[in-house]
Structure 1
């Protein structure tokens, strides 16, 4: 996807209903409004997790290790389409399978420079259809890691991860130790803007 493409984000109220949209580049600042997002965790068939490091040029949390990729559904865009769009843009590949495993996670985090991330959205599990080819404008590097090894590294302070990954991983611990054993979230657990889109 060309970097000049307009990408509005969906603004939400406290009940997570749509209130409008704003350009992504204008959305993240010291008073970032609540907006719709998703967080993706890529696993291979053996259950290894694809950990990614954000590009050093990113405006928010540059160079930080994080989940596989993230994104913001466009107004009226179904979740699966948003995931596929960002997967192509960040990791240069396609998905064989996309499953929402947490319907909605809300988080707010503040960088040292005062920029705020303020989002709510589902967590999705992704199986790739082809190996990743990271886009250097988005992803500095990736590595495959066993899921339980990552959890141990976090617990022992050996792995520093993005604040949204810390929160979503904590929620994922509650649904079981085997990533392919996680149940798919019911439609009604998604934020309202994503429930009626197929």
Structure 2
């Protein structure tokens, strides 16, 4: 006859209501969201301090709920040969910031496969997501095609439940790259020049047009300089973490 550890049984029974509550909360928070998007919330982000030093890893859902946990992200700005910027409207299925307009591609390096290795790791993550989000062909974008510009630390609440708190690596790609956007990630794309982008931002203050807060910060603090130096991006590169005020 098997003997059971009574102490373990008592501890389990004592903790069971708390365990059940934790499990129920985790399920209920994602209830009603798209299945593909829910699955990606299990991925582990790279947790960092305000100087971008790695201090651990945490699930995407935990990094983006309640008060948020500071983690790494990246933003890609893709320009064609006409120096027009590709922008996207995020899919309605997205859990955080659905249907907002944003830069060409934005996501997170994960704590896996070398993506935690600074700039080069963020490039690996960017290439992975360019394929998954924008549908770029495999090997059509290589690490050397991505020019690192800078980093920004920002915090922006989406709603009462979800928040962004990130050290965002900003990259530029220049070239005519074929795309086939994933409808689960993106509902619209378009190339814009500076004037058209300014008009979109202007309309966002009046019409029902939403713009991602990270893209607004990139536009207000980096984009003009990038546009003016597209042929000499090395002139504007730095390895600083630019700390932005929290957006409401």
Cα RMSD (Å):
2.5
Q: What displacement does 1:143 show?
A: 1.1
1:82 corresponds to 2:118: no
- Confirm or deny that 1:100 pairs with 2:100: no
Distance 1:175 1:89 in 2: 29
Match of 2:83 among 47, 55, 62: 47
Cα deviations across residues 103-128 of structure 1 (Å, max 9, x unaligned)?
11111111233411100122111235
TM-score for both structures, normalised by structure 2:
0.67
Q: How many residues align?
A: 188
Residues 1-198 of structure 1: pairs in structure 2 closer than 5 A: 3=36, 4=39, 7-75=43-111, 76-77=114-115, 78-93=121-136, 94-95=140-141, 97-101=145-149, 103-127=150-174, 130-155=177-202, 157=205, 160-173=210-223, 175=225, 177-178=227-228, 180-181=230-231, 183-184=233-234, 186=237, 188-189=239-240
Structure 1: distance between partners of 2:229 and 2:95: 30
CA contact (8 A) 2:63 2:70 kept: no
The runs of 5 or more residues in structure 1 that have no matched partner are: 192-198
Which moved further from structure 2: 142-151 or 64-73?
142-151
Contact 2:167–2:241 (CA<8 Å) still a contact in 1? no
Give the Cα–Cα distance (whole angstroms) in 2 for the partners of residues 160 and 169 of structure 1.
14
Q: Which has the higher contact order (CA 8 A, sep 6+)?
A: 1
Deviations, residues 39-68 of structure 1 (Å, cap 9, x unaligned): 111110111111101110111110111111
Instruction: State the TM-score, normalized to the length of structure 1.
Output: 0.83
Q: Deviations over 1:68-118 (max 9, x none)?
A: 1111112331122111001001001042621112x1111111123341110
